[in-house]
Amino acid sequence: MSDIETARIAQNPRFKELVHERTRFGWTLTIAMLLVYFGFIGLIAFDKSLLAMKVGSATTSLGLVLGVAVIVFAFILTGIYVQRANGRFDELTAALKRDLGR
């Protein structure tokens, strides 16, 4: 791809929209993950007794349940991103290709 084609793509409004939406969405998911992760780390640091509580009559602690929940949350965020990427972002990419005659 030549520098001229690259500049043409970079100036296209659909490309700018795609980059803006993808960046904003990525940062939103990143912030959500950081809040959950550091919230969990904060509980570990400042309220160990809460995390040591037993869940039900089992020997499982609340800390273990919340730790697994953090991992599950990460998988859910990944699924949300993949759904958006395969939907909205692919639509914007296809529209951009049409605009550029590809």
17-60 pLDDT per residue, tens:
999 999 999 999 999 999 999 999 999 999 999 999 998 878 89
pLDDT of residue 4: 86
pLDDT of residue 2: 81
Name 92's Cβ contacts closer than 8 Å, sequence gap at least 6. 14, 17, 18, 21
d(CA 24, CA 48): 35
Q: Which residue in 44, 41, 32, 43 sits closest to 73, CA to CA? A: 32
